[in-house]
Amino acid sequence: MTRAELFGQIQKKNSFLCVGLDTDLNKIPKHLLNTEDPIFEFNKRIIDATAQYAVAYKPNIAFYEAYGVKGWQSLEKTIAYIPKDIFILADAKRGDIGNTSKMYAKAFFENMNCDAITVAPYMGEDSVKPFLEFDNKWVILLALTSNVGGKDFQNLELTQGGELYEEVLRKSQEWGTTDQLMYVVGATRAEALTNIRKIVPDHFLLVPGVGAQGGSLKDVAQHGMNNQCGLLVNSSRGIIYASQDENFAEVAEEKARELQLEMQQYLSEFL
Amino acid sequence: MTRAELFGQIQKKNSFLCVGLDTDLNKIPKHLLNTEDPIFEFNKRIIDATAQYAVAYKPNIAFYEAYGVKGWQSLEKTIAYIPKDIFILADAKRGDIGNTSKMYAKAFFENMNCDAITVAPYMGEDSVKPFLEFDNKWVILLALTSNVGGKDFQNLELTQGGELYEEVLRKSQEWGTTDQLMYVVGATRAEALTNIRKIVPDHFLLVPGVGAQGGSLKDVAQHGMNNQCGLLVNSSRGIIYASQDENFAEVAEEKARELQLEMQQYLSEFL
């Protein structure tokens, strides 16, 4: 999907919502466990319920890998089921030497036709570039993550000036364009968004951590939005596990709609 | 596998060889492509040919994921086929927030019974710790990688002193013991090994990049070995693709044996 198409979807739906598909057999409603493929069954109903409010879905690959071959099958079916006009983001946090990254790119971009994959920056340029060789596919590079351990290395100060995550933002801009690269920026540090926007004014940012992880959507919109929105805000547990009863899909729809309505307001206020 | 068991294998086989299973359908001998599961068939013959010289196998997960469900099946069969006394190392370079890392740990440690997994450090402590909660399982943390892009971030100088990779070595030692943590250290920078051994004298190091990637085994042994060997040196392409003809397994055996003999010499010289 191109940047223009993504922005088109955001304008059409008045939403920059990404729904995280962290589907866990221990958390989905019990009545689904008797179906042939409970993970896919759950995802299908979540997608049906939320597709009108979401511009992106983010399957968290770990949750599928944890079930081996069967989990991988559920993942492939889920990705195939997502409507074509919705951005699909494989949250895989991959990154390895060139020929290996190329294999990961093949897995997620060619075989599964995802639009984007999250990548860890530690191994540098030649670990990221193989993902950038596919037309209209995106790398979403980890920059500043919202977990407690994020500060262990990302906030280390460099003798050349700035912190490590700022150097990741600066350096990686040389590797691809704003039509190929996005960044992961944790929402619980919304005050850092102003600073981040100085370094990457035009890139899209993927912001996890709104909802269960506790960031403020208004802060994110106010400090992070650019003139093409430039934000994908993810909610996983706050939507998909809002209810664990038989009515889970309806409750997920409500929660997605609430977020979309809030986003609509911020789009008119800050865009 | 425990540290004592691993060292026992090293002494028994006079070898610290890890064979990388980067199995690629475009590179394996053509006559195998007609078998039901060419990737597994190739791995099986490589394992049969090299098991007497190797103390570890390292399947590179990307190469299996690239073939989707079928690749994942080949991976599971391969891991099940490896003899029980050989260390199995999933080269997956994972790392994510706590509940996600836990799912990856489940995939590789519980479902597939690997002994170790490679993990990227960028997200810090709570992304690594879930992998450390399994008895006799290992995290192999990326420290200094041998690819060109490794220097983009790993060698950045910190205002607190030292380079980023050194801080990764220092900080991560607080997260687990020498019975749980190893480090990836690229062999093409063998001169850095002396320095690394000052920071982590007792840990095992996984050294890729001997062979096709070009490091010197003698340098690695001389500068990296500690009193329990403390080294696993990987060769992938130099062994498994040494011949692409029907005799590939015999040639792989020869190449593995050559490396083992060289290692035997260094074990008697430097241990």
Q: Does A260 touch chain B (CB under 8 A)?
A: no
**B227: closest CA of chain A, how far (Å):** 30
pLDDT at B156: 98
Give ipTM to 2 decimals: 0.95
Q: How are beta strands B116-119 and B181-185 bridged, if at all?
A: unpaired
Q: What percentage of chain A carries pLDDT values higher than 70?
A: 97
pLDDT tens-digit series, residues A55-101: 999 999 999 999 999 999 999 999 999 999 999 999 999 999 999 99
Q: Do B69 and A65 touch (CB under 8 A)?
A: no
C-alpha–C-alpha distance, residues A70 and A34, integer Å: 15
Pick the CATH number of A3-270 from 3.30.420.40, 3.10.105.10, 3.20.20.70, 1.10.3720.10: 3.20.20.70
- Given this model, what pLDDT does residue A231 score? 97
Return the pLDDT at A16: 98
- Provide CB contacts within 8 A for A43, sequence distance 6+: A21, A23, A59, A74, A78, A81
Binding-face residues of B in 65-104 toward A, CB within 8 A: 65-69, 72-73, 76, 91, 93-101, 103-104
* A223 pLDDT more than 90: yes
pLDDT for res B187: 67
List, for residues A148-189, the tens digit of each pLDDT value: 999 999 999 999 999 999 999 999 999 999 999 999 998 666
| Other C-beta atoms lying within 10 Å of the C-beta of residue A89 | 26
pLDDT for position A189: 64
**Mean per-residue pLDDT over chain A, rounded:** 95
What are the pLDDT digits (tens) for A113-129? 999 999 999 999 999 99
pLDDT, tens digit, 9 for 90 and up, residues B140-168: 999 999 899 999 999 999 999 999 999 99
Q: What span, in angstroms and rounded, lies between the C-alpha atoms of B50 and B28?
A: 16
Helix (H, G, I), strand (E, B) or coil at B75: helix
- Our CA-based measurement puts residue B212 at a distance from the nearest CA of chain A, in whole angstroms, of 13
> CA–CA separation, B134 vs A213, rounded Å?
26
pLDDT at B42 over 80: yes
For the residues B89-93, what does the mean pLDDT come to? 98
Helix (H) or strand (E) holding B204: strand B204-207
Asked if B22 and B43 count as a contact pair (C-beta separation under 8 A), the reply is no
Q: Do A63 and B98 touch (CB under 8 A)?
A: no
What phi, psi does B25 have (nearest 5°)? -55, -25
Residue B248 to residues A44, A79, B27, B94, B260, Cα–Cα distance (Å): 46, 38, 11, 31, 18
Test A111 with B67 for CB contact under 8 angstroms: yes
pLDDT at position B192: 85
Are residues B50 and B252 in contact, defined by beta-carbon separation less than 8 angstroms? yes
Nearest CA to CA, how far is B159 from chain A (Å)?
5
Residue B123 has pLDDT above 90, yes or no: yes
Q: Which residue of B has its CA nearest to A120?
A: B122
For residue B22, list chain A residues with Cβ-Cβ distance below 8 A. Answer: 99-100
Say what the pLDDT of residue A210 is: 74
- Beta pairing class for B231-235 and B17-21: parallel
Q: Is B202 exposed, middle or buried (0-12, 13-18, 19+ CB in 10 A)?
A: middle
Kindly state the average pLDDT of the residues A196-214: 85
B68, B153, B159 member nearest A157 (Cβ): B159
